[in-house]
Amino acid sequence: MNLFTTFVSLFLLSHYVGAQSPIRINNPADVPLNEQVIEIPWATVKKAYPNVDTTNLQVLLMGSQQPVAYQLERRGTKDVQHLLVQVSIGPKQSIGLTLRGGKPAPAVSKTYGRYVPERFDDFAWENDRVAFRIYGAALNGRSDNAYGTDIWAKRTNQLILNKWYKENDYHNDHGEGLDYYHVGLTLGAGDIAVFLNDSLHFIHNYTSWEVLDNGPLRTTFRVRFDPYTFNGITVREVRTVSLDAGSQLNKVQVHIEQNSGKALPMVVGISQRKEPSPVLLDEKAGVLGYWEPKHGNDGTLGIGCVFPVTPVRLLTKYDHLLARLDAPPAGDLLYYTGGAWDKAGRITSSQDWFAYLRQFAQQRNHPPRIAVGK
């Protein structure tokens, strides 16, 4: 490092340190936050550190001189929207973050997603816990078409999406997991459909996509669907999906525009198998849980959804577990959906899975509080 570079580094460091405004993250819930990705509004960061430089930035836990990995979330824009950090905070506890100039800590990618043109327009995404895919327009009209969300049974914290597609043998487990979940013409693992005249009406397959952010801590993408007309009602859907490192569940924001002139009945659903298996229908907490029957030597998948607007009407119908939602003529529906595989070793029973979903719901009801100052 030459003398000029040293001077510049010390100048930037003095700018950061001079602010002396730590960013506090408080967990108000009675349950811990374990390796959770926290989003800090960029306006809050700028308030604490007006001279912040995104090209020369280190983030530290208070009391530590060791930089932590972070992500600058842009949500498909050129401007930073959030600073993302992955932390653990005990119940009713808080931590502080400080910023300084310097080379960012190395960040291992824990989330990833992409369009898969080599496999009939799949869009697939994953984190260090789970993997998913949805199906594109190239599958329409084929005998192997599928409508809902697919989940891959994964038991490695490594990103495997590209490897599995390249090897094209992901229906067999070679130590990392496999894809054995059957979707077909169902909602699969938490997809959404129109629910008119007490019947399911699928919006079919997505037709365009865009990646808004792609790791290392959060991957967000958006897909659009062609308008479909059901009983004279035309429905347009745009879906934005985010998956954080360390989470079993996706955040799904569905923007619906429809011309009925009133609320349109819709359902989020989980495909239910014929064999008896544990189910959780908690309308008050907004939790829908399913522990699938064991699939031979492949083990067992838990599938679940969490709904932030409660109470939510839950029902069992048409070989699905369903949650009833109402879409306004133009507006958004928000829910969380995902799963866990017992062979991954973290969640190995219906009791574990249902407890995870309940805790997830509780955390969403009491989100972390972000403040500037000591």
The three-state secondary structure class of 180 is coil
Interval 292-297 mean pLDDT: 96
- 52 within a domain of the structure (yes/no): yes
State the first-to-last Cα distance of the chain, in angstroms, to the nearest integer. 35
- 45 within a domain of the structure (yes/no): yes
DSSP 212-279: EEE-SSEEEEEEEE--EEETTEEEEEEEEEEEETT-SEEEEEEEEEE-SSSPEEEEEEEE--SS---E
DSSP 8-state secondary structure symbol assigned to residue 49? -
Interval 293-302 mean pLDDT: 97
What is the chain's length? 374
- 16 within a domain of the structure (yes/no): yes
Provide the pLDDT confidence category of residue 373 given band limits of 50, 70 and 90. confident
Range of the domain at 20: 3-105
Cα separation of 252 and 40, whole Å? 20
Cα separation of 275 and 39, whole Å? 41
Domain boundary at 62, 78, 105, which?
105
Q: Is residue 55 located within the same domain as residue 135?
A: no
Q: Is residue 79 located within the same domain as residue 166?
A: no
Cα separation of 251 and 253, whole Å? 7
Cα separation of 169 and 136, whole Å? 20
Cα separation of 67 and 60, whole Å? 5
Count of beta carbons in the 10 Å neighbourhood of residue 206: 21
- 370 within a domain of the structure (yes/no): no
- Phi (first) and psi of residue 9, to 5 degrees: -60, -45
DSSP 8-state secondary structure symbol assigned to residue 79? S
Domain boundary at 83, 105, 127, which?
105
Question: What tens digit of pLDDT does each residue of 244-255 get?
Answer: 999 999 999 999
The token pair that represents 5 in the structure block: 């570079």
Cα separation of 305 and 367, whole Å? 18
The three-state secondary structure class of 357 is helix
Domain boundary at 79, 105, 131, which?
105
Q: Is residue 133 located within the same domain as residue 66?
A: no
Q: Is residue 35 located within the same domain as residue 135?
A: no
Question: What tens digit of pLDDT does each residue of 96-140 get?
Answer: 999 999 999 889 999 999 999 999 999 999 999 999 999 999 998
Alpha-carbon Rg for the chain, nearest whole angstrom, is 22
Q: Is residue 118 located within the same domain as residue 78?
A: no
CATH value at residue 247 = 2.70.98
- 48 within a domain of the structure (yes/no): yes
Provide the pLDDT confidence category of residue 227 given band limits of 50, 70 and 90. very high
Q: Is residue 177 located within the same domain as residue 299?
A: yes
Q: Is residue 116 located within the same domain as residue 86?
A: no
pLDDT surpassing 60 at residue 162:
yes
Q: Is residue 184 located within the same domain as residue 232?
A: yes
Q: Which residues are bridge partners to 73 per DSSP?
A: 82
Query: What is the reported pTM?
Result: 0.94
Q: Is residue 41 located within the same domain as residue 141?
A: no
Q: Are strands 330-341 and 249-258 parallel, antiparallel or unpaired?
A: antiparallel
- 329 within a domain of the structure (yes/no): yes
Share of the chain above pLDDT 70, in %: 94
Question: What tens digit of pLDDT does each residue of 182-218 get?
Answer: 999 999 999 999 999 999 999 989 999 999 999 999 9
- 270-281 as b/e, with b when 16 or more CB fall inside 10 Å? bbbeeeeeebbb
Provide the pLDDT confidence category of residue 89 given band limits of 50, 70 and 90. very high
Q: Is residue 243 located within the same domain as residue 300?
A: yes
Peptide bond before residue 308 is cis, with ω within 30 degrees of 0: no
Q: Is residue 190 located within the same domain as residue 80?
A: no
Interval 66-94 mean pLDDT: 96
Interval 231-237 mean pLDDT: 95
Provide the number of structural domains found in the chain: 2
- 180 within a domain of the structure (yes/no): yes
Contacts of 206 (CB under 8 A, 6+ apart): 121, 123, 134, 135, 136, 137, 223, 224, 225, 239
CATH value at residue 92 = 2.60.40.1180
- 373 within a domain of the structure (yes/no): no
Q: Is residue 24 located within the same domain as residue 157?
A: no
pLDDT surpassing 90 at residue 65:
no
- Phi (first) and psi of residue 289, to 5 degrees: -130, 150
